[in-house]
């Protein structure tokens, strides 16, 4: 995932041409939405009703029938956001 500053709000995109071999392929949309939710959760400041202005682009993903589910992708999103915050020197939320 690439994290970039944004003018405002939170934007999550899946890179064009990203392919993930997984059946049923329709599940990937839910998985990616769960990853976005995990990221947004880590970037939010609920006491202020604000989300850190960030654009996130999913560039690579893997999925398998035994370990892939929405919660796994949400946790992966949370961890990716925490790592991005560490790299920028921002405090953990």
Instruction: Render pLDDT for 12-42 as a digit per residue (tens, 0 to 9).
Output: 999 999 999 999 999 999 999 999 999 999 9
* Domain of residue 43, CATH code: 3.30.230.10
> In total, how many domains does the chain have?
1
- Note whether 43 and 10 are within 8 A (CB): yes
Distance CA(8)–CA(70), nearest Å, equals 27
Q: Domain range spanning residue 19?
A: 2-88
Burial class for 60, CB neighbours closer than 10 Å (0-12, 13-18, 19+): exposed
The answer to whether residue 8 sits within a structural domain is yes
The pTM assigned to this predicted structure is 0.86
The answer to whether residue 93 sits within a structural domain is no
pLDDT above 70 coverage of the chain, percent: 88
The answer to whether residue 27 sits within a structural domain is yes
The answer to whether residue 52 sits within a structural domain is yes
């Amino acid at each position: 995932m690439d994290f970039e500053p944004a003018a405002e709000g939170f934007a999550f995109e899946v890179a064009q041409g990203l392919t993930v071999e997984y059946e049923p392929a329709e599940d990937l949309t839910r998985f990616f939405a769960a990853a976005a939710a995990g990221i947004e959760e880590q970037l939010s400041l609920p006491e202020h009703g604000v989300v850190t202005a960030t654009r996130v682009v999913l560039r690579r993903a893997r999925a398998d029938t035994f370990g892939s589910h929405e919660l796994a992708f949400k946790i992966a999103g949370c961890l990716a956001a925490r790592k991005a915050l560490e790299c920028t020197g921002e405090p953990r939320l």
